[in-house]
Structure 1
Amino acid sequence: MMKIALIAHDKKKPEMISFVKEHLNIFKTHELYATGTTGALLVEHTGLNIHLKKSGPLGGDQEIGSMVANQLIDMIIFFRDPLTAQPHEPDVSALLRLSDHYEIPLATNISTAKLFIAALEI
């Protein structure tokens, strides 16, 4: 069982919900964590058991980053909105840096996330 973090910027939340629903059989076999708003929406739409952190702008990205730094996360799926300025961009950048430093796989778009899911199906 892997510990997977799920994060999505506001404009990407519908895409995250669809993605998780499409791969529900995979996600239900892993331990899931999510930033607050994304996680609450996923629970509402999928019924999955998800450990909720704070909303991204209120420190949720930092909470996930702390889990990465403490080797408590195995994979991150983070649907980012590259065309909208984010008020918490430094937190997002820090999470990306931590993921690289600790060699935690991080998908920032649906194409990469599909590859991660394919690897989990093996």
Structure 2
Amino acid sequence: MRIALVAHDKKKDDIIEFAKRYKHIFEQHELLATGTTGRLLKKLVGLNINTLLSGPLGGDQQIGAKVAQGEIDFVIFLRDPLTSQPHEPDINALLRVCDIYCVPLATNVGSAEIFMKAIRSHEDIDDNE
């Protein structure tokens, strides 16, 4: 599975802690992330991640393009709903393209948890076959 990881500045700690909890699952998949998020996850969690541009510099658009091209299967985008983002149109475009192409999108830790548990459950079934 190809998973994209994005987190606004005030959600960086959340995505790092989340990735640590699910590192054993993330390690089995192809990961990509926007710039700062990807660098932090590489350094602090030790994940192998293809790092794109920073979100405000076009990284959100790069992920959106990959979603549209069928190159991403799942997006975790931990958004900060209480802080105005200068690149809000890019964020909305990414959310929209996920909806258009029916790509699962988790925008908070709660929904990301459910998706990760589903992935783990599916992998457990594959291991038993």
Structure 1: which 5+ residue stretches go unaligned?
Answer: none
1:75 aligns to 2:74 (yes or no): yes
Q: 1:61-104: CA deviations, max 9, x gaps?
A: 00000000000000000000000000000000000000000000
Task: Give, in whole Å, the separation in 1 of the partners of 2:15 and 2:120.
Answer: 19
Cα RMSD, aligned residues only: 0.4
Q: Which residue of 2 is the match for residue 13 of structure 1?
A: 12
Q: What is the TM-score normalised by the length of structure 1? A: 0.98
**How many aligned residue pairs are there?**
121
- Displacement of 1:46: 1.2
**Equivalent position of 1:56 in the other structure:** 55
Alignment of 1:17-28 (within 5 A): 17-28=16-27
1:27-77 Cα offsets, whole Å, 9 max, x none, are 000000000000000000111110000000000000000000000000000
Distance (Å, rounded) in 2 between the aligned partners of 1:22 and 1:4: 16
CA distance in 2, matches of 1:87, 1:44: 27
Q: 2:36 is aligned with what amino acid? A: T
5 Å matches for 1:1-122? 2-122=1-121
Deviation >6 Å, runs of 4+: none
Larger Rg: 2
Q: Percent identity?
A: 59
Aligned-partner Cα distance in 2 for 1:17–1:48: 11
Q: Which amino acid aligns with 2:117?
A: A
Given the two structures, how large is their TM-score scaled by the length of structure 2? 0.93
Q: Secondary structure at the match of 1:81?
A: coil
- What is the alpha-carbon distance in structure 2 between the residues aligned to residue 62 and residue 45 of structure 1? 25
